[in-house]
Structure 1
Amino acid sequence: MDSAIDALVEIFTWVGFSAGALIAGVALIMYLFDGTWLPTRGVLEDTEHGRIVRWFDEDGGVNEAHLTHEQERALEGKGMADIFYRRGARGRMRLTQGSPAVRAVAYLAVGLIGLGVLAVVVSGILLFTGG
């Protein structure tokens, strides 16, 4: 039984650290490709094709984007909103500065690395208790 537990802890250690490091690398690449998002104030307007938001970028250009259903629900009843637009891209906006996808992948990486750390701690406890 002890060898099965040792093997299981060893597997969790390797899987936690290796998969966590790999996914952390993926999160870093996603973060770099996500680009720079700058804050601004957007004006919301109802049109015949749905609700849109318009804003000025850092170069003074006017941008506009159609709101998704989730964004419409979050901004319901508002005439202006704090938004984030992507530097160098026209018509791209979101309501959060950080990407939810990047955040989710980073949390997964942290969780897997935490599993690896926990497995190392359990392995140490088993080593010193003779179990």
Structure 2
Amino acid sequence: MADVVGLIAEVFTWVGVLGAIGLAFLALVFRIADGSWAPARAVVEHTDEGALVRWFDDQGTVNEAPLTAHDLERIGGRDMADIYYRIGWHNRMRLSPGSPAVRAFVRLTLLLVGVAVLAYVAGWIALIVEA
């Protein structure tokens, strides 16, 4: 029985380690592709076409971007909002400092590291119990 537990634990250890390495690499690639974002204070304007935000970037250029229903829900009825704009791009903004895709890959990486550690410990326990 301990042999089966040890074998399963070893498989989960390798799956966890190799999966974590792969997902960490993907998180790094997505982080690099996401680029640099800077904080700004934006004015929320409600027009006939919908709500939008306007802000000045680091070059002093005025930018504007439409707000989605989710963005409007987060901002509420305020006239000003704290946003993050993409450096080097015009009219591109988001409300969070980091990319949701990068956060998801990092969390999955940590989950697989946890699986690998637990499986490694279970393998050692099975080895000790067998002896």
TM-score, scaled to structure 2: 0.96
Whole-angstrom distance in 2 between the partners of 1:98 and 1:8 = 37
Whole-angstrom distance in 1 between the partners of 2:94 and 2:63 = 13
Q: Percent identity?
A: 45
Whole-angstrom distance in 1 between the partners of 2:20 and 2:49 = 44
2:41 is equivalent to residue 41 of structure 1:
yes
Preserved contact between residue 2 and residue 130 of structure 2 (Cα < 8 Å): no
Return the letter of the residue paired with 1:69.
A
Whole-angstrom distance in 2 between the partners of 1:120 and 1:5 = 11
Structure 1 segments unaligned to the other structure (5+ residues): none
User: What's the CA shift for 1:121?
Assistant: 1.0
User: What's the CA shift for 1:47?
Assistant: 1.0
Q: Report what 1:62 is aligned to.
A: 62
Whole-angstrom distance in 2 between the partners of 1:96 and 1:115 = 29
User: What's the CA shift for 1:8?
Assistant: 1.1
Whole-angstrom distance in 1 between the partners of 2:67 and 2:8 = 48
* CA RMSD in angstroms, aligned pairs only: 1.1
User: What's the CA shift for 1:116?
Assistant: 0.6
TM-score, scaled to structure 1: 0.96
Moved over 4 A (4+): none
Structure 2 segments unaligned to the other structure (5+ residues): none
Alignment length, in residue pairs?
A: 131
SS at match of 1:44: strand
User: What's the CA shift for 1:4?
Assistant: 2.1
Q: Report what 2:83 is aligned to.
A: 83
Preserved contact between residue 42 and residue 53 of structure 2 (Cα < 8 Å): yes
Structural mapping, 1:1-131, within 5 Å: 1-130=1-130
Whole-angstrom distance in 2 between the partners of 1:120 and 1:11 = 9
SS at match of 2:90: coil
